[in-house]
Amino acid sequence: MDSLIKKIHQAHQNAPDFPPPKTIQQFFEDLLGLLFPEFSVQNIREEEDVKSTMQTLQAQLAKILSRNPHLHAGDGEEVAQAFFEGLETVFDWINQDVDAMYRGDPAAKSRSEILRSYPGFFAVSAYRIAHLLHELGIALVPRMITEYAHSRTGIDIHPGARIGQYFCIDHGTGVVIGETTVIGDHVKIYQGVTLGALSVDKADADVKRHPTIEDHVVIYSGATILGGKTVIGSHSVIGGNVWLTKSVLPGSKVYYQTQMHHEAGTVTDLYVFKNDLE
């Protein structure tokens, strides 16, 4: 027991001075509640109160960054100001995502239903906010935000991924989007989709390891698309349970099919590629 106590004590002495996860989670939830009244405990009635709440949140972020200068290269207050100056674009893009989710899901009865109950909204909102922090050169905090959303929704989006406008995640459980993924506009993905990397050495961590998904692509549940050189061309449809490590042309339809060979009494699994633009 004494040996364990010493080990734990040593771990506490050597622990880096990072912001607690609950502090980051609370900042994110307060910010999301400011942006979307459906997620807020209480609606803000006066415009001046909106301004005051935003100033309070900016001060909180500045405090977090000033206390943890090792997480960024600039001045904490200036970085926090830059984040809030970029927040309008994030707000507009999240609203576009909500529009895409509403149009893309026949079961959705209203935007309010999406804002209040859809895991895709929560995860994509966390990603949009975390991505802005990531683009400002802030370490760890963006990952803490997206991992909080991951724990809440089962949707794992790395803040370094680049995702275009009108992004729709339907259902969402088990979705994984890797760090160097690039996704275009009007893309829709279903549960269990993995946009991942082929096995690479740690030394190659800074190279593009994850796929590129061009505009107007639909990826159905369980599909796995891997590799930094893999490009899914625009207006393609990737069927459920498909495994891809090579690019497909724009307008392609790729799906998994089982064929029964009656004479031999055997079953063959294969992928079928069709291209509407040929």
- DSSP β-bridge partners for residue 264: none
Question: pLDDT at position 267, please?
Answer: 47
Residue 51, judged by CB atoms within 10 A of its CB (0-12, 13-18, 19+), counts as exposed
- Asked if residue 1 belongs to a domain, the reply is no
Task: Tell me the pairing of strands 252-261 and 243-244.
Answer: unpaired
Question: pLDDT at position 270, please?
Answer: 58
Token look-up 């593009």 returns 208
The residue from 138, 154, 170 where one domain ends is: 154
Contact 211, 226 (CB under 8 A): yes
Residue 5 has pLDDT above 90, yes or no: no
Question: pLDDT at position 23, please?
Answer: 95
**pLDDT tens-digit readout, 99-153:** 999 999 999 999 999 999 999 999 999 999 999 999 999 999 999 999 999 999 9
Same domain for 225 and 210, yes or no, is yes
**pLDDT tens-digit readout, 217-231:** 999 999 999 999 999
The total number of structural domains in the chain stands at 2
- Asked if residue 12 belongs to a domain, the reply is no
Q: What is the CATH number of the domain that holds 178?
A: 2.160.10.10
Q: What is the CATH number of the domain that holds 51?
A: 1.10.3130.10
- Asked if residue 6 belongs to a domain, the reply is no
Q: What residues make up the domain containing 109?
A: 18-154
In the predicted model, what is the mean pLDDT of the chain? 91
Question: pLDDT at position 159, please?
Answer: 98
- Asked if residue 22 belongs to a domain, the reply is yes
Mean pLDDT of 45-51: 93
Same domain for 140 and 189, yes or no, is no
Mean pLDDT of 32-40: 91
> Tell me, what amino acid is at 218?
V
- Asked if residue 29 belongs to a domain, the reply is yes
Same domain for 86 and 207, yes or no, is no
**pLDDT tens-digit readout, 151-170:** 999 999 999 999 999 999 99
Mean pLDDT of 14-25: 86
Count of CB atoms situated within 10 Å of the CB of 210: 26
- Asked if residue 224 belongs to a domain, the reply is yes
Residue 204 has pLDDT above 80, yes or no: no
Mean pLDDT of 74-86: 97
**Candidate from 46-55, 166-175, 197-206, 243-252 with smallest mean pLDDT:** 197-206
